[in-house]
Structure 1
Amino acid sequence: MKKVIVLATSALTLAACAPAGSDTQQPTAGKKEISFLVFETPNLTPQYWDEAIKRVTDKHPDIVVKKLVAPSAGERNAYAKQLLASGQLPDVMQAIAPSGLAEGGNLYAWSEEELRNYDYPHSNPLGGKIYQLPYNSQPTPLVYYNKKLFAEAGITAPPKTYAELVDDAAKLKAKGTNPFVVGGGGKDAFAAGYLWMALVGADVYAKQPDFLVKRRKGEVRFSDPLFVRATQKFADLVAKGYVDKAGLSRDYPSTEKAFLDGKGAMYPMGSWFAAVKAPFDVGVFAWPTDSGETVVPSYTGGGPIVNAHSKNLEAARTFALEFNQNAANNDVLVKSDAAIIAIKGYRPPQMGPVYNATLEVLKSGKAVNAFTVETGDDSLLPGVGDKVFALAQEIIAGKADGAAAARALDQEWVKAGGQ
């Protein structure tokens, strides 16, 4: 039987009928067509997605895939909600948070049998059900650093405590080196949030791992002292000149390039950065706590979610499961995006020292949730994550301190329907 795959290469925009950027060719008789929403990054290129899709359709030639591309990685969750609102929810969506979609009965809940091959089959439940395949663990963020710039500033080892981190930042600045590279420009506002995410993990979740569960019940507030202190540390780093404000004009790819070009010593980023080839030696450490305890914000999920009302639901489920469990797909994902695959029996290909160091950091510390990345009952209310990133931009710009940002976040929480 001839193998067929329908691919689209342009970014998707909303339209009154079929989404722009998708191929409207009709599948051959007897074949099942599904749409697949993906997103592109410097690591996850159009070629990556096309080849990964083809590996699945080669095994299941009765499935035809219409690839759809979100406008940006940071906008993919909001974009999926736009498609739902316009009656165009795709059949399968990769790494889209189910919160805000599943509650209305729009997503397929995976069965225990379908989840049996996963290391952490019950990650991120919503109402006791699993809507997203939990196939990839991602520490978010760790701190990747330029060993050459550290050495030039007289820093011989990564910091173990927050006080040591601040001291190292002062040494780097005194040498004329920007301590922290951040982003947040254009459509990639999320790139402004990693310092805040790191601080919430180290200072809030380490003490109250169920903080967002309590926030949903109205038992805690963002304006409580614990959260404000963590946020004020972010503002203090900015006030001391340790954060490169030029990052607010950089999109995500440009932010990564700035670090690779040596425009800063430390780069708080998710574990996927470990796949990048740098022109200098890169080290990695977990964001330090005051006490020196190692805390690693991490998230296991990232797999497909499936439209419960898909016209070809069986094909959509089959495609999603095979896309995640295909060994060749996972090998490529490890090499291209430094994925830490959470599937039983999977053995990753040989990787470089930065990936191996990332694994060691993950294993060395206390695992907590990754702020803004949660997708289950302990996640932010729908839409609030985008407000976090906007507030992070305000902090980097010097327009908000910890208390003001926390109060604003409480206000956004209430607007989103929370207590």
Structure 2
Amino acid sequence: MAQAMKDILQVEIAELYVKTIEPSNIAELGSPSWFDAHGRLQKLHQQAILEAQELQEESVKEMIISYNKIPIIVHEAICISVWKEKVLPLLLKIRPEPKSVFVPYMVLFHEATAIEFLETLVYHPDSCEALGENSLDLIDYSTSAITRLLAGSKQKVSEPSHNLSASEDLEQKEVTLAFNIGIKCISIIGCIAQHLDCLPLCATSHMFSIHDVPLLLVNIIEQKPWTKQGPSGKTLKFEDCKWQEINGEDNVKVTRAEAQTWLALRHLLLDVRCPAHYDINEYRKNQLIKLQCFMHDTLLDQLSPLVELKYWLAKLASCNAPFTTRRPLLLEVIPQIKQTLLEKNNKRWKKIANRHVESMFHENASDMKTITKSLSETYDLDTIEAIVLGPSVCVTCGEPAAKKCSQCKTPYCGRECQVKNWPKHKTSCEFLSSKKID
């Protein structure tokens, strides 16, 4: 049996980190103080994952709830998404060909960190309860991320390119992060659907009436964003945070994201509040009953709770008239986080972009050394390797990796791929091996 991993943070340090979590200021993103805050959040995230994996007492989760910090983590994700929409395009217009995009990439990565942290937290009903009315902000964010995931889900997997400019490389990384965030948001929506009892009534209304989450989930099942055709024409499935080639019986095996989508649908459509909030008109009925063709025996064998959903869909299909009911009169609550950020920084986007040009696109080696040194403990390679399970694959071609970079331990299948990737890998190698910097 595998040995238990050593805690990443002692309880006292974890509590100090939780106490000091504060919402990011868009104008300060990429600053030394922001990198310190990012490092603390990432450490807490790593410790929370460790506690969940090792079935320990989830002290980080309890402290986050106790100090009412979950809304701030939601703010972090939304803050970066607003920066990505309003500031990043202006930055790349001011300096279209930067030499280094490491800092803006870390800012984008912060969004993924916040969402992964939230995915770990909202698995528990008390964390969902702690969201309160900020659950509306998280629902809005998650449905938007899933919509973007669906919009780009059918792009064919391309061969790795070795001649990208820094800005093109950043764009490619942004697309990858957006995909991962979209997959995580499916899980978050599933947890919210399961714990609607713990949330304000306006959250139920948002799920059913404002965003029509049931039909969004139907679209996910139809498009299957977790499945793609690889460059060689073989089927790839996204599992364990990476694309894997699927052969034989694995073709019918349900992925984690697929299971979460189906179970979220079941929770929503079989919820006792569904008839009061969800008018099933003729269009919705026709969309929902399309699910019947996907509910084959191999799916039901793996997800037995879906038998009830299959019966519900059969009943819906046999009805001559749509299910309709009188909806309750509700005073709708408007999500506040994104609106507040937009109003606070209205007409300041160019000013913020001009300020960020120098802080984001570091071209000075000593500046990069300072940044990587501040992150060296947070991104300790042994910790990352222990948390992210699964076989190593070559970062250039995706084949099983038999070798690693001697400096940063990045996996490669052989020297040829390592040499090809060196122009892109040089900066990240300095970052990943920075724990050796004196």
Flag whether TM exceeds 0.5 (same fold).
no
Structure in which a larger fraction of residues adopt strand? 1
TM-score, normalised to structure 2, is: 0.25
Structure in which a larger fraction of residues adopt helix? 2
User: Over alpha carbons, which structure has the higher Rg?
Assistant: 2
TM-score, normalised to structure 1, is: 0.26
